[in-house]
Structure 1
Amino acid sequence: MHEEPQGPAEEEPAVGAGPQAVAPEPATGPDRLDELAQRLGGELAGLRAEVAREHHRAAAREQVIDRLHDENQRLRAGERLLLLRPLLTDLQRLRHDLLRTAAGLPAGFDTAAAADMLRSYAASLELTLERGGVTVLVPVAGAAFDPSTQRATGTVPAVDPGQEGTVAEVVLDGYHDVEAGRTVVPAAVRVHRWLPDPDPVPAGNGPEPTSTTQPTPTP
């Protein structure tokens, strides 16, 4: 048998091989510019809308803050008036008492009676302070100086070393907040200070005393 001569083997096309797809070229010219302009215009419109929404939200927040501030101010004013009402009532009563007493003073009203009247009004004010939670601090002369409730405004010479650092004189009373447990106004006092005398000169070491006897005249 004669074998037929074979020609060059035909190559099978590779799988997926075929004519290459040609990508479309990007548009150029006026059409491309119009497309870009439309895209930019849309993005700008979106930004403007977002800025407007943020502006409205900020304005709403400001309104809420202003309303809360006004409510807080009204509440504080009401609390202040509620706290001060007892004190204001006592001061009103004290003012009326002072005016009524001044109008009814007798003709022979002397200094001692005036002092007693003023002390009674001071006692009334002290009761008013106590109702508000404040007590009066009245230092005792001769007691030790207490820097936690007192402040020294001056010194007074002590007559002996035992008076050093004690209260010599009360200038102003102090005030203590009972609820807070602290002194709000310290009492003003003068304090004793011991100043020892200089060392005395030992006997025999000083200068000889000068005689004051006049000489007897010679006849």
Structure 2
Amino acid sequence: MDDIIGKALGEIKDELAGLHEQNRFLNGVMDRLHAENERLRNAEAQRVLQPALRELVKLADDWRARGTALADKDPAQARLCEEVVEDVTLLLDRQGVEEFTAAEGTAFDRHEQRAVGTTPTDDAALDGLVAAVRKPGYRVDARVVRFAEVLVRKFTPPPAS
């Protein structure tokens, strides 16, 4: 009798162990499916937002240029332009779009910057350094969505005498 009960309990124990293993497997599958679903939803949301985000970046560029043009003529209006740029930058930031820029005098980094021109220099030590920033760059997470536009110093040796 004890042998039959022991055998039945062993079979139940084995079946429960199998069910636990199957449950772990199914939970793993569900977790992977959930993570994949979240990635797809996030990618779709980003795809839908991309046109609006591009337009906001363009709006910031336009107001930044307008402010620069007004800086000498009408400082008060130039400040209003800067405030519009700040507001647009905050909107972008809330959507996960980070504005970044290059510091003048740092090495040109083609992973985050696009050279839109060069500035001649007769100092070889300055060759390849950022001379000026034309437009900031933007990134989402670690991915650059628009390169910072910069002028890069280019060494030009003085003419031989």
TM bucket by the smaller chain? 0.5 to 0.7
What residue is the counterpart of 1:135 in the other structure? 98
Query: Structure 1 unaligned runs (5+)?
Result: 1-75, 92-109, 201-219
Give the alignment of 1:21-60 within 5 angstroms. Answer: none
Residues 1:112 and 2:75 are matched in the alignment: yes
Identity, % of aligned positions: 37
When you count strand as a share of all residues, which structure comes out higher? 2
What is the alpha-carbon distance in structure 2 between the residues aligned to residue 153 and residue 123 of structure 1? 24
What residue is the counterpart of 2:11 in the other structure? none
Give the structure with higher Rg (CA).
Answer: 1
What is the alpha-carbon distance in structure 2 between the residues aligned to residue 167 and residue 159 of structure 1? 15
Superimposed CA distance per residue, residues 136-162 of structure 1 (whole angstroms, 9 cap, x where no aligned partner): 112111111110000111111114112
- The code of the aligned residue for 1:198 comes to P
What is the alpha-carbon distance in structure 2 between the residues aligned to residue 153 and residue 112 of structure 1? 28
What is the alpha-carbon distance in structure 1 between the residues aligned to residue 134 and residue 75 of structure 2? 21
Residue 199 of structure 1: how far off its partner (Å): 3.3
Residue 198 of structure 1: how far off its partner (Å): 3.3
Residues 1:193 and 2:154 are matched in the alignment: yes
When you count helix as a share of all residues, which structure comes out higher? 2
Aligned residues: 97
Residues 1:165 and 2:136 are matched in the alignment: no
Residues 1:184 and 2:145 are matched in the alignment: yes
What is the alpha-carbon distance in structure 1 between the residues aligned to residue 111 and residue 76 of structure 2? 36
Residues 1:150 and 2:95 are matched in the alignment: no
Superimposed CA distance per residue, residues 173-211 of structure 1 (whole angstroms, 9 cap, x where no aligned partner): 111112xx21111011110001112333xxxxxxxxxxx
Q: TM-score, normalised by structure 2?
A: 0.54
Superimposed CA distance per residue, residues 45-104 of structure 1 (whole angstroms, 9 cap, x where no aligned partner): xxxxxxxxxxxxxxxxxxxxxxxxxxxxxxx9xx75xx75xx89xx8xxxxxxxxxxxxx
